[in-house]
Structure 1
């Protein structure tokens, strides 16, 4: 079974997403205007099923109320029993009532993990201050508590944060971590990619971290398959196929290509012998699908 390990869905009338409602505000990944509309299961499944996918993982996407979003995704899953759907929810791991909050989320059968973004892009991070999580002992404790409960953590960050993040994650070895977007290599120059690859080793050496081949178009909008080659090959080399999984990052990456073009680019770059792991087995094992 092929699994898309990283995508989003939203209904703007059911859940409030501040960033989707903000008109005329460019983001680090470009102009969001074309995706500032409902993106629902039927549209996602149409593209995914045409490429042979039969299950997926929904990743939280900046809802004002993470619990409201999680309940909405659970309802989608309940309404589509023929489509295995897991979800990763937003949870502030520094909150004082963390245990109670996780109890609430784990009452939903689709919940497999949590995400709290550590870094998106240098410019936005300077404004949001989200990088400060790495210096907060409550964040580390939250990671440990999540792992003790069998919840994974989806990690989004930029290469400049990898060294500090590796030190934090080394103290939560029981927590399974999914590295989103291959660690967001935003500098695609030869020297930038070399620096990213060197920093990535600090994470790939931690056995509890799995890498997502996802979101690679966010920092290179007019991409070709060959543009992704050094990133995909480095991830496969450092993590091995058993710790790599494909995710479309749709509809965000629909700003740059259609679903088929994106999937086929990754199929070209990933050796055919390891397609079963990268396009299905790793995600199924990691997220319990």
Structure 2
């Protein structure tokens, strides 16, 4: 029988309302995305839906991560209007290269006292990244300046990119030693061949060498929709070996990962792969500390 965590903070999930906020990728019908066919989730996903997914599990708080809205401020304002304590913290969208970044951060903070950080996606999938050229952010001095602005404002940064970019990212973030950083989706291990996993583990170690770097065990279904406990085990082991439980947090990535498995089986599988002595850190304490909950 799987030992479940006594308390859970879901450190990575999304909510959306297609009538209240413009989400271009969600509204594009018939377009397959890097994580698969989004058709089953192209409908509102409100707090009541999220709570229904984890019904009966000891989820005490959650962190909302920006999810590709056309206007990050509009998304944050919508979240603030929700008559619910879900989510407890918000990671909003902002273009760190924008000349008016300071004004944008001020507006986001004024929109919600739950604002804790920013996510600007550096990489999603090699195919999409070749078109968007978003990995070029790692070499853009404006992006570096924006990261320094976040650190000065006491905001954290959620980093999403692909595994081959991890060494470059580590070199960049070493230049912002005061910035609290968390790596989304364990660094997106798309290539799960022996060689691909070896390179991914090496990249994790590069980033983990930064004292302020953290990591999320989240979104793993995107990289292998047919995952099993045996395929997840080497990923979980590598993350914990690199970052330790005090810098590792768990997130469901719902409703995206809902495409592959429901909430309880996902949680139970990951929980069974983590020693019970680490559950307190991975499933609650790291996220509580990082997002100041």
Which category describes the TM-score, using the shorter chain as reference length?
over 0.9
1:233 lines up with 2:237 in the alignment: yes
1:174 lines up with 2:155 in the alignment: no
Match of 2:167 in 1: 163
TM-superposition CA deviations, 1:117-172 (whole Å, max 9, x none): 00001000000110111111010010011011110000000011111111110001
CA distance in 2, matches of 1:15, 1:104: 17
Give 1:16's match in structure 2, choosing from 1, 16, 22. 22
1:214 lines up with 2:218 in the alignment: yes
Match of 1:99 in 2: 102
Instruction: Give runs of aligned pairs for residues 114-263 of structure 1, distance below 5 A.
Output: 114-263=118-267
1:288 lines up with 2:292 in the alignment: yes
Stretches of 4+ moved more than 3 A in 1?
Answer: none
1:58 lines up with 2:64 in the alignment: yes
CA distance in 1, matches of 2:191, 2:81: 39
The structural deviation recorded for 1:80 is 1.7
8 Å contact from structure 2 (residues 47, 84) kept in 1: no
Gaps of 5+ in 1: none
Secondary structure (helix, strand or coil) at the match of 2:220 reads coil
CA distance in 1, matches of 2:35, 2:289: 30
Match of 1:45 in 2: 51
Report how many aligned residue pairs link the two structures: 286
8 Å contact from structure 1 (residues 48, 54) kept in 2: no
Q: Which of 40-49 and 94-103 deviates more?
A: 40-49
Gaps of 5+ in 2: 1-6
CA distance in 2, matches of 1:84, 1:220: 27
1:67 lines up with 2:70 in the alignment: no
Secondary structure (helix, strand or coil) at the match of 1:217 reads helix
CA distance in 1, matches of 2:65, 2:226: 25
8 Å contact from structure 2 (residues 161, 187) kept in 1: yes
RMSD: 0.9
8 Å contact from structure 2 (residues 164, 199) kept in 1: no
Match of 2:32 in 1: 26
Secondary structure (helix, strand or coil) at the match of 1:106 reads helix
The structural deviation recorded for 1:49 is 4.1
8 Å contact from structure 1 (residues 6, 59) kept in 2: yes
